[in-house]
A and B are shown apart, each in its own frame.
Chain A
């Protein structure tokens, strides 16, 4: 959809006779609020990062003296231990799929907050095929997996380029309907604009439980000569899906004038941040 361009042109027409002024930012009107960051993979060590909201973007203030208690399926797992840079770990505890985890954070300067997540089950990649079309300058991947149709599922697909034992998340594109146009290579229309670049998708557009997704990378996009590609299929819970989408939309929205204000998604009441989980399966394919 390109009507956004025209609407923006009209707004710009108005703005021609307008002007923009710069002023000092007013100080934040509320006390600092605790911010929780935790995206935990199944079979990974359970970690939480704590910081607090601040007025200036350059001064991150980590919280090192909070008490975090973890529960698994309503049974206490123990207290987290502080490591460094706001990160707390639950020693010897690895996230088990299909289990419910809850954490409670207490701190003398903040009100007590509680949040939880249910770890999803790993969804296996059944097959991945790669086709390098030199004439079009793109490498196409076809990924197959099985979706559990009995429940709502959320996924995320990442492509990493591997070179000299170093991997890096790389851009990919797709016209597949599951991405709802968010990864179209040249489309910057209004509908896609806010979620442009989002790599998450839901099972809403799946035609059957046997899913095949086609996506591609442009060979000229990279300065590094990647020898292998790592295709990661994340099975997400709904909180992760919402968080990824709000993260992307906040980035895309930027300073768009007259837009409705939105915030980063949070599943923690009375605080900022996210405490959620995923299960990952991946395949490595060599460059052709």
Chain B
């Protein structure tokens, strides 16, 4: 009690003392909007009786323009006095305007960092203050902001693969400086001019790989320089079924990867059933893969985030290129529409397999016309209104289309023409507005439309004798998902020790499991049409703070609150995130992280392939969202700016994963899918090692992953745990790029992985006929899920490029060989019960993509 009275008395004393101070929050009404400062101070004194005390340094003759007629004293003074040079304090009945000593004054330098040749912004470029080895990094839009004391500083702007810029600067006011870095050619030797302590300032390395799209070296099947192929040489990234199954990151399924193209989620990221990614290298600027330690601004999937940024377009001059390969033709054009104001980037890619096939069919006089192609179009336009405002509009359209046309005589005088079309693809749009509110605060507001559609059309028409064809049958089927999102986020950078990011994201998901339209003109019935639309809403709020403690410890902590509503079912999750990085020396750091992720959309797959018929479904009352909890710890060592060693261990637990029940099959995924799947748990762990050299005549990387992944579902596999479909124990790859001369580059890539799990029906049982209880048949069944392994996987890819400078640009011949030593890698195996050749069942292995040579020609201007 005595303690309480004592504390309470102290509090009262404190409050009474406080009350005697001038209240700076007190609102006053000002008759004018323009004042001389001395006049303004007198006006405040007359209304509040507060006396001002200030030094002669304060220019009381300056004119002041006020925004509001009624305002608090603090707001009025904040508008009138430069707070960089003066502090405002209220004590007793006085207001002190105290001059900050010049050496304590802080000013801010901010701006954008870009490529000097193309004007493309550089993401994650370093700004280091070499006088005290503090600094910052540029954000996703190339913006940086750093506060410095009022004295001379030596600033270093750097980015891997670019010549660093050293800037000797003495700040007297907040300053905006846009920096352009000159790219260095691979043949130039690495020169380390600055102190190694300037490296990696404020860079968090946890489970993240970033690279520029122009440095993608790895060609895939038919020589296409594919993004996913380039990701597969990173540790923790593996492919299943020879690239046909999408990307598997840290043993997660492909649908657990959040793939963002200019902030827009891309739902189906592959062409040709997963063989190629939908991302055209010509359109891309920067790629960031986050496998763990997810910052709070990412969410919605549980395994990884692939953040892809499209090129803004060259700000200096018009440039572009084209290429012709065995499979695809590409064209790119980008440049300024209005110099330093508006830029555009246009990229087009199309395969021409269909043209070749149809040509051959036409030559052979066939009545059948069949083809398949995929195409992509990327379009981006960027307009800079001022140094503070930028508007971006990006569009991606991409799709696959297969078609068959045929005609035949169905009777002596009637000919029927049948046309099938099967198409699927993405259409994504984002409109983003960047605004620099002040030198501390950067904002980005985005409107998003993302659409994935699968479409089938069947049309039949008939004609009698010489009459025209009359359409008599139409069938259309559509399924897909459509997202409308609004997102606004802010980067708040109070000083070099703190970097805060916070935002809100709201989305409407419209899932269409399948709509049918059927019209048969022969039976005079009206068309039959069925449609179903599942509407769901998602709201996310997040905030994260990156804090630097001294020069050794960097911490990023944050929280994401996600919520989801569908059909009166509501889910909400708090997702904590924590990343730590401790620099033992400037070159050597240790990292650790924890992150919880939640996924509210499930991809229901109809096969082991990544098929376009796979459907995204929102969670239901019965099917709950997937939660994952991932812990990582690792160490990172930079031998120099180019050579780096990363070792990381991860452990991941997932809940509410889905797998097909033992006897279920997807006849039609749009109906009753909830009853065909079981929910269960999964856990994965792994060790990743990567040694990379990014610069110089010889560069490349070596990656090794040791991992284990298991799942358990009630009612499947007798409720016992079994290997997950993505459980590859050892995964090793080595990539070497060698510049033989200025004109010739050679690349080699070898990968090895132990076999993926497989389920084989190796047991035979007698099964009673459902139509005759006295009759029995032999059926092959499996006793355990994923108890067998595919053979080990390995292959060697080689490529060589011959470049030559021409009058208007550079031409290049690229020759590549996929699977050089013709390794027959098994993508799928099954037990064949075909008794035509033998009574014993045999194991059949399907091997895809043996030795495939390819050649392409490209020209860049």
B contact residues around A11 at 8 Å (CB): 273, 609
Name the distance in Å between A275's Cβ and chain B's nearest Cβ.
10
B258 at the interface (CB under 8 A from A): no
Name the distance in Å between A255's Cβ and chain B's nearest Cβ.
6
A200 vs B771: C-alpha distance when bound (angstroms): 10
A142 vs B846: C-alpha distance when bound (angstroms): 47
CB pair B273 A14 closer than 8 Å: yes
User: Given known contacts A26-B788, A29-B783, A258-B828, is B846 in contact with A15 (CB within 8 Å)?
Assistant: yes
Contact of B850 among A19, A41, A54 (CB under 8 A): A19
B363 at the interface (CB under 8 A from A): no
CB pair A6 B844 closer than 8 Å: no
A240 vs B771: C-alpha distance when bound (angstroms): 11
Name the distance in Å between A74's Cβ and chain B's nearest Cβ.
25
Within 8 A of A (CB), among B824-861: 824, 826-828, 830-834, 839-850, 852
Name the distance in Å between B221's Cβ and chain A's nearest Cβ.
9
CB pair B849 A6 closer than 8 Å: no
A contact residues around B763 at 8 Å (CB): 28, 30, 33, 53-55
CB pair B665 A260 closer than 8 Å: yes
Contact of A39 among B666, B770, B783 (CB under 8 A): B770
Name the distance in Å between B775's Cβ and chain A's nearest Cβ.
10
A262 vs B828: C-alpha distance when bound (angstroms): 15
CB pair A272 B477 closer than 8 Å: no
A58 vs B766: C-alpha distance when bound (angstroms): 10
> Can you list, as one digit per residue, whether each of A246-261 has a CB less than 8 Å from chain B (1) or not (0)?
1101100101011111
CB pair B667 A2 closer than 8 Å: no
B contact residues around A127 at 8 Å (CB): none
CB pair A60 B770 closer than 8 Å: no
CB pair A261 B761 closer than 8 Å: yes
B154 at the interface (CB under 8 A from A): no
Contact of B420 among A6, A13, A33, A272 (CB under 8 A): A6
CB pair B824 A1 closer than 8 Å: no
Contact of A10 among B372, B477, B845 (CB under 8 A): B372
CB pair B848 A17 closer than 8 Å: yes
Contact of A247 among B770, B778, B784 (CB under 8 A): B770
B contact residues around A21 at 8 Å (CB): 824, 826, 844-845, 847
CB pair A41 B773 closer than 8 Å: yes
CB pair A240 B770 closer than 8 Å: yes
CB pair A27 B762 closer than 8 Å: yes
User: Given known contacts A255-B830, A260-B665, A265-B663, is B762 in contact with A55 (CB within 8 Å)?
Assistant: yes
CB pair B662 A57 closer than 8 Å: no
CB pair B765 A158 closer than 8 Å: no
B63 at the interface (CB under 8 A from A): no
B70 at the interface (CB under 8 A from A): no
B contact residues around A54 at 8 Å (CB): 763-765
Most buried by A among B458, B664, B785, B850: B664
B17 at the interface (CB under 8 A from A): no
B782 at the interface (CB under 8 A from A): yes
Name the distance in Å between A250's Cβ and chain B's nearest Cβ.
6
CB pair B762 A58 closer than 8 Å: no
B414 at the interface (CB under 8 A from A): no
Most buried by A among B768, B772, B831, B852: B768
B contact residues around A255 at 8 Å (CB): 830, 832-834, 844
A164 at the interface (CB under 8 A from B): no
B780 at the interface (CB under 8 A from A): yes
> Can you list, as one digit per residue, whether each of B664-676 has a CB less than 8 Å from chain A (1) or not (0)?
1111100000000
A35 vs B785: C-alpha distance when bound (angstroms): 18
Contact of B846 among A20, A243, A263, A264 (CB under 8 A): A20
Residue of A nearest to B766 (CB): A51
Most buried by A among B404, B667, B779, B783: B667
A214 at the interface (CB under 8 A from B): no
A181 vs B259: C-alpha distance when bound (angstroms): 38
Interface size on B, residues (CB 8 A): 79
CB pair A264 B770 closer than 8 Å: no
User: Given known contacts A26-B788, A242-B663, A264-B779, is B849 in contact with A17 (CB within 8 Å)?
Assistant: yes
Residue of B nearest to A265 (CB): B663
CB pair B842 A1 closer than 8 Å: no
B241 at the interface (CB under 8 A from A): yes
Name the distance in Å between B425's Cβ and chain A's nearest Cβ.
15
Name the distance in Å between B514's Cβ and chain A's nearest Cβ.
10
Name the distance in Å between A159's Cβ and chain B's nearest Cβ.
11
> Can you list, as one digit per residue, whether each of B747-775 has a CB less than 8 Å from chain A (1) or not (0)?
00000000000011111111111111100
A30 vs B717: C-alpha distance when bound (angstroms): 12
B278 at the interface (CB under 8 A from A): no
A272 vs B833: C-alpha distance when bound (angstroms): 19
A contact residues around B770 at 8 Å (CB): 39, 156, 200, 240, 243-244, 247
B contact residues around A136 at 8 Å (CB): none
Contact of A272 among B765, B787, B824 (CB under 8 A): B765
A contact residues around B847 at 8 Å (CB): 18-21
CB pair B660 A28 closer than 8 Å: no
Within 8 A of A (CB), among B235-279: 241, 244, 272-273, 275
Residue of B nearest to A195 (CB): B667
Contact of B402 among A10, A24, A35, A262 (CB under 8 A): A10
CB pair B773 A258 closer than 8 Å: no
A contact residues around B402 at 8 Å (CB): 6, 9-10
A131 at the interface (CB under 8 A from B): no
Contact of A22 among B422, B772, B828, B842 (CB under 8 A): B842
> Can you list, as one digit per residue, whether each of B615-644 has a CB less than 8 Å from chain A (1) or not (0)?
000000000000000000000000000000
Most buried by B among A13, A57, A191, A257: A57
A contact residues around B664 at 8 Å (CB): 262
B611 at the interface (CB under 8 A from A): yes
Residue of A nearest to B222 (CB): A17
Name the distance in Å between A191's Cβ and chain B's nearest Cβ.
5
Residue of A nearest to B659 (CB): A260
A contact residues around B845 at 8 Å (CB): 20-23
A64 at the interface (CB under 8 A from B): no
Contact of B849 among A18, A60, A199 (CB under 8 A): A18
CB pair A33 B778 closer than 8 Å: no
A194 vs B285: C-alpha distance when bound (angstroms): 45
By a beta-carbon cutoff of 8 Å, the part of chain B in contact with chain A is 241, 244, 272-273, 275, 370, 372, 402, 404, 420, 422, 456, 458, 477, 605-609, 611-613, 660, 662-668, 718, 759-773, 776, 778-785, 787-788, 824, 826-828, 830-834, 839-850, 852
A sample of 20 inter-chain contacts (CB < 8 A) reads: A3-B456, A7-B422, A7-B613, A9-B404, A14-B273, A14-B848, A18-B846, A18-B847, A20-B847, A28-B762, A57-B841, A60-B776, A243-B770, A247-B769, A255-B832, A258-B608, A258-B827, A259-B608, A263-B662, A263-B781
Known: A9-B402, A55-B763, A263-B782. 12 other contacts (CB 8 A): A1-B477, A13-B372, A17-B849, A19-B824, A58-B839, A60-B776, A156-B770, A195-B667, A261-B782, A261-B785, A265-B663, A266-B663
